[in-house]
Amino acid sequence: MERGYRIRSKPNYETLMWREKASAQVVVAKGAGGLAVLQLFQQMYPTQPVTVFYVRGNGSDTDHSATLARVVGDAIKLFDSETDALYAFYRSLPDFRMGTRFYVSGTESFMWSLCKLAKLFDIQESEIMMELSNSLARPVYCVHCKGTTPDVTTNIATCSKCSRKLFVRDHFSRHLGAYMGLMVDAENPGEVPEIEEIYP
């Protein structure tokens, strides 16, 4: 990585904090992102109506569902898969009123998938508070087949749709919610540099 060179398109994330001016609070988190939610509830249990959508961690992703269920109480909805949680979130959007504030924590893939759904309801990503959970894994957009591969931890990824070997760039598209991936062996097929984990 070049020193002193900053990639402007790379999003910065923050630490979740309740926005006090709100009519309702909606929190969505996955796996290790549950810790950010616990921290939110440590600040306070908000006075506004609150809903928490949580995807249980599995495998290497920490699961906070038991603690969260205790802290959050009835306001929590638990899911085993990311797709189910995002679908439930999307289905509930028509029920929320203007003034609802949104918070999300998880991997970048998860957070930006949520942003894409929210945008269909004209909720811009600037209105969603995002905290990255303890993984730097990246969503990678294949510029060749236009498929997105979630949670990539290596410098070179295999596209989940077309199986090309993609070099993971730092250039991030907010519109697509992903980093750009370019075929690495286009010129010399089969010549793939060493694959290393750099986004643990």
Partner 1 sequence: MSTLNVRVAAIEQVTPLVKHFTLMREDGQHFPTFSGGSHVVVAMDINGRTHRNAYSLMGSPDDTEAYHISVRRQEHSRGGSVFMHDNVVEGSQLQITMPVNLFSLSKMGRKHILIAGGIGITPFMSQLHDIQRNGYNYELHYAFRSLEHGAFSDQLKARCGNHAHIYVDRLGQKLDLRELLGSQPLGTHVYVCGPSSMVTAVLETARELGWPENHIHSEQFTAPPMGDAFTVQLAKSKTEITVPNDITLLEALETAGVNPDSLCRGGACGRCELDVLELDGEIFHHDHYLSDAEKASNRKIMPCVSRARCTHMLLDI
C-alpha closest to that of 149 among 178, 106, 188 = 178
Minimum CB distance to partner 1, residue 79 (Å): 21
If one asks whether residue 197 binds partner 1 (CB under 8 A), the answer comes out as no
Nearer to partner 1, 41 or 102 (CB): 102
Rounded Cα–Cα distance for residues 28 and 17 (Å):
13
> Footprint of partner 1 on residues 6-25 (CB under 8 A)?
19, 21-24
Is residue 31 within 8 A of residue 131, CB to CB? The reply is no
Judged by CB under 8 A, the residue of 80, 127, 191, 197 near partner 1 is: 127
Nearer to partner 1, 13 or 96 (CB): 96
Is residue 16 within 8 A of residue 44, CB to CB? The reply is no
If one asks whether residue 90 binds partner 1 (CB under 8 A), the answer comes out as no
CA distances (Å), 189 to each of 145, 165, 184, in order? Answer: 17, 10, 9
Residues that bind partner 1 (CB under 8 A): 19, 21-24, 93-94, 96-101, 121-124, 126-127
